[in-house]
Homo-oligomer: A and B are copies of this chain.
Amino acid sequence: MGIRVTVWNEYRHEKSEARVSEIYPKGIHGAIADFLGKDPEITVRTATLDEPEHGLTDEVLDNTDVLIWWGHMAHSEVRDDIVEKVCTKVLKGMGFIALHSAHFSKVFKRLMGTACTLRWREIEESERLWVVEPNHPIADGIGPYIELEHEEMYGERFDIPTPDELVFIGWFKGGDVFRSGCCFKRGYGKVFYFQPGHETFPIYYNEQIQRVITNAVKWSKPTIWLDKIEAPKVEPLEKI
């Protein structure tokens, strides 16, 4: 069955903005699911905000190894009880990949414990993502950098805890830098934040970006799951 990935998308821009739906006619989730689905190790499904329970029912979460998250304009509409369920699942082992504007998603902010603020602008500038850890599994096959012709600028200071591993640093033509690929461990789960992916640019069709996301899925898949979050009272192992 391989790695069971659920690609979650807010799926609002695509419905209301022609320039977005032209780039992503099947939604951003559809585009991501398409390339992931070609990997023989990966089984993919999608879920979106406006589905019942945002598409994240217990049945879906129980069958998800890695959850990919794209959201932007409707973070506040995500139900707190579902945020709670998703975060708990991460702490038990589920991988979580936050893409682009998901830096401000409730789930990511909660896993970080910080405000996740940054500086930004949208002027169609180019970005170059430099690989800082060339032998990290997430950078596998990428080479020294990824070029993006147009991307929204996200700039430092990015208010996150110091990442456990910093894999990419973004260079923006307009003069900014960004910690664009960051790994965190939270509980039994692995979290990867990846900055590229503005809705008005065809970022998720870029083969190197697809490779990074595929690599991140494989890196973040759980090896073991925690059964139950608990703080047990235990007996001493030595005579005191």
Contacts and interface: CB of A to CB of B under 8 A. Distances in A.
Contact of A115 (B91, B169, B175, B237): B91
Identify which of A114, A175, A235 gathers the most chain B CB atoms within 10 Å of its CB: A175
Interface stretch (A8-16, A18-26, A47-55, A131-139): A131-139
Given A121-B236, A166-B162, A188 B135 contact: yes
A236 to B, nearest CB: 3
Given A134-B224, A177-B130, A237-B174, A117 B159 contact: no
A1 interface: no
Contacts of A133: 157, 185
Q: How many copies does the complex hold?
A: 4
Nearest to A147: B237
Say whether chain A's binding surface is mostly helix, strand, loop, or mixed: loop
Contact of A161 (B120, B128, B161): B161
Interface in A188-236: 188, 222-224, 226, 229-236
A177 to B, nearest CB: 5
A4 interface: no
Given A166-B166, A170-B177, A175-B236, 15 more contacts: A91-B114, A104-B231, A112-B113, A117-B229, A120-B234, A126-B240, A130-B156, A130-B176, A130-B177, A134-B224, A135-B222, A155-B234, A156-B169, A162-B185, A173-B236
